[in-house]
């Protein structure tokens, strides 16, 4: 890995080693007399080789089943929406038109939850080929990423064992812009749909003009894209995953009896402070953020910086989870919030967390996230979709 360049397909270099006392970092900073110790306590390769997926145990959970709304039973709603935009709202045929009443009802925990969760209409976009769908149905566990709009290169995962390659899928979602950009740099999808370790899924007809919002679909709705998968690990395209996925599942979920693992935010703890930072950095307009935060205040969300002893704010570039009814519901509600309000998911995560009282959450420290991935940064700004209709 040199100057953030993407690794060639199939690269299987070992994860970066820890620095010794007195040694300099690549940027020239001295560690001094302190030895950096990994935060992620992962099993030895010998033990990882023997790992199997745990037997599914339902346990005493409030949500037994999640039903996803579609236009098959609500034609009157679908008929009022344009294929891409309905007026100024971001609700469309992919999302369905969730009312405020339906939004409030979706947070009421019952054994059966009926919610909007994307893929509302067959004409809503995010089209995937039958070959790719068939492959995705075979995945019991998946590491996934996406790059829409040609904004990022594809970084090959490293550090995995052969046992994991046999049990875990690696899937990257691209659009045509990314495919063409990567082909221009010599990275061509093979006849087997592969580039290195990644199975490439080229998505047609993305439902949003905002590429950031399109990226929330594979990020938050992996349970809908991989209907047979029990586990998923999401990695933002700016990062290179550098750990064995089975070892990560064991360390962050199975060992801790958790169903969802995500990093604490490195800089802030309050969603209201995050709102101010988003406006200051021009990542959303003041008006957009104010509408969202006013709704959250009205819904009784306090300006607490801690939740159950942890930071109340998350950094969601890596998401590790089991696909249970509860986590699936959580991700559906989180997705609905980024559609309704700003696409900055740091704002809506603590809101959904508090409203749903999510059990089995492992909010790990920032140093653990740094042990999971090499941060490569975004290559350049994505190209927005241009609507002609």
Task: Report the mean per-residue pLDDT for the chain.
Answer: 85
- Burial pattern 366-378, b for ≥16 Cβ within 10 A else e, equals eebbbbbbbebee
- Identify whether 16 is part of a domain: no
Structural domain harbouring 301: 59-375
Tokens representing 213 are: 């919002």
Q: Which of 149-153, 230-234, 383-387 has the highest mean pLDDT?
A: 230-234
- Identify whether 30 is part of a domain: no
pLDDT tens by residue, 179-200: 999 999 999 999 999 999 999 9
Please give the torsion angle defined by the CA atoms of residues 121, 124, 130 and 133, in that order, rounded to the nearest 10 degrees: -80
Rounded CA gap, 195 and 133, in Å? 18
Res 378 pLDDT > 50: yes
Total domains, the chain: 1
pLDDT at 303: 84
Res 345 pLDDT > 90: yes
pLDDT at 7: 39
Res 29 pLDDT > 60: no
pLDDT at 355: 94
Region of poorest pLDDT, from 45-54, 79-88, 189-198, 365-374: 79-88
Handedness of CA 21, 23, 24, 29 (dihedral sign): positive
Tokens representing 207 are: 């439902």
Higher model confidence: residue 386 or residue 157? Answer: 157
- Identify whether 81 is part of a domain: yes
Q: What angle do CA 12, 13, 18 make, to 5 degrees?
A: 145
- Identify whether 45 is part of a domain: no
We report the CATH number of the domain holding residue 84 as: 3.90.550
DSSP 8-class letter at 132 = H
Query: 335 φ, ψ to 5°?
Result: -60, -45
Res 386 pLDDT > 50: no
Res 72 pLDDT > 70: yes
Rounded CA gap, 333 and 322, in Å? 16
> Strands, E, within the chain: which ranges?
65-68, 112-115, 141-147, 169-174, 194-195, 198-202, 231-235, 239-241, 260-264, 306-307, 310-311, 314-322, 361-364, 373-375
Closest CA to 69 of 109, 99, 114: 114
- Identify whether 7 is part of a domain: no
The secondary element (H helix, E strand) that includes residue 136 is helix 130-137
Rounded CA gap, 107 and 345, in Å? 18
- Identify whether 299 is part of a domain: yes
DSSP string over 185-224: TT----TTSEETTEEEEEPBS-S-S-HHHHHHHHHH-HHH
- Identify whether 44 is part of a domain: no
DSSP string over 255-301: TTT-SEEEEEPSS---HHHHHHHHHHTTSS-HHHHHHHHHHHHHTT-
Res 32 pLDDT > 80: no
* Cα distances (angstroms) measured from residue 104 to each of 99, 101, 331: 9, 5, 16
pLDDT at 19: 36
pLDDT tens by residue, 112-144: 999 999 999 999 999 999 999 999 999 999 999
- Identify whether 36 is part of a domain: no
- Strands 141-147 and 169-174, by their bridges, are parallel
Instruction: Specify the length of the chain in residues.
Output: 389
pLDDT at 152: 82
């Amino acid at each position: 890995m040199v100057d953030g360049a993407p690794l060639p397909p199939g690269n299987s270099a070992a994860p970066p080693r820890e620095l010794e006392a007195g040694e300099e970092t690549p940027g020239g900073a001295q560690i001094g007399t302190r030895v950096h110790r990994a935060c992620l306590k992962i099993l030895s390769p010998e033990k990882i080789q023997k790992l199997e997926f745990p037997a599914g145990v339902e346990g005493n959970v409030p949500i037994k089943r999640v039903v996803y709304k579609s236009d098959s039973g609500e034609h009157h709603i679908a008929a009022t929406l344009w294929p891409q935009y309905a007026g100024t709202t971001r609700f469309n045929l992919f999302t369905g038109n969730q009312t405020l009443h339906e939004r409030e009802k979706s947070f009421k925990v019952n054994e059966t939850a009926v919610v909007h969760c994307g893929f509302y209409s067959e004409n809503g976009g995010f089209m995937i080929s039958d070959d790719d769908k068939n492959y995705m149905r075979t995945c019991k566990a998946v590491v996934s990423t996406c790059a829409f709009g040609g904004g990022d290169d594809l970084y090959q995962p490293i550090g995995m064992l052969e046992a994991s390659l046999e049990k875990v899928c690696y899937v990257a979602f691209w659009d045509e812009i990314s495919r063409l950009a990567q082909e221009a740099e010599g990275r061509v999808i093979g006849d087997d749909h592969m580039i290195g370790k990644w199975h490439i899924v080229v998505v047609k007809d993305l439902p949003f003009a905002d590429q950031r919002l399109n990226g929330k679909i594979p990020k938050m709705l992996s349970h809908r894209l991989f209907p047979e998968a029990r586990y998923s690990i999401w990695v933002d395209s700016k990062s290179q995953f550098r750990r064995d996925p089975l070892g990560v599942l064991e360390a962050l979920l199975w060992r801790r009896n958790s169903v969802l693992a995500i990093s604490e935010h490195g800089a802030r703890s309050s969603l209201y402070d995050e709102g101010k930072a988003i406006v200051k950095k021009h990542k959303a307009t003041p008006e957009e953020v104010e509408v969202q935060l006013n709704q959250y205040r009205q819904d009784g969300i306090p300006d607490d910086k801690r939740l159950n002893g942890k930071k109340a704010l998350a950094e969601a570039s890596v998401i590790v989870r089991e696909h249970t009814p509860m986590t699936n519901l959580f991700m559906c509600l989180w997705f609905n919030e980024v559609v309704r309000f700003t696409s900055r998911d740091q704002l809506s995560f603590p809101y959904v967390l508090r409203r749903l009282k999510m059990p089995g959450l492992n909010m790990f420290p920032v140093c653990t996230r740094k042990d999971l991935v090499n941060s490569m940064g975004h290559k350049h700004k994505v190209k927005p979709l241009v609507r002609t209709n």
